[in-house]
Amino acid sequence: MEAELEGHGSAETYALLRQHLGKCRVCREEYEVLREIVRTTHNAEALTRPPMSQSVF
Ligand SMILES: [Zn+2]
């Protein structure tokens, strides 16, 4: 998600988004849900990837 925002190229857009999230509870909740999804997806990818240095499993 952060990479996507960077792809759109402006810290200004990000600042506006942050500002809006500070005021708008609906969007903030939505944003947090999205962040959670991104985090769990990344974790899932990390687990699916073959463990090179970590052979703990
Ligand atoms: Zn909103």
Q: What is the pLDDT of residues 7-47, one digit of tens each?
A: 556 888 889 989 999 999 999 999 999 999 999 988 887 77
Determine the pLDDT at residue 3.
53
Contacts of 31 by beta carbon, 8 Å cutoff, 6+ apart: 21
SS (H, E, C) the chain: CHHHHHHCCCHHHHHHHHHHHHHCHHHHHHHHHHHHHHHHHHHHHHHHCCCCCCCCC
How much distance in Å is there from the Cα of 38 to the middle of ligand 1?
A: 20
pTM: 0.51
- Encoding tokens for residue 21? 């999230």
- Look at 46 and 54; give whichever has higher pLDDT: 46
Determine the pLDDT at residue 30.
94
How much distance in Å is there from the Cα of 9 to the middle of ligand 1?
A: 21
Domain ranges of the chain: 2-47
Determine the pLDDT at residue 19.
94
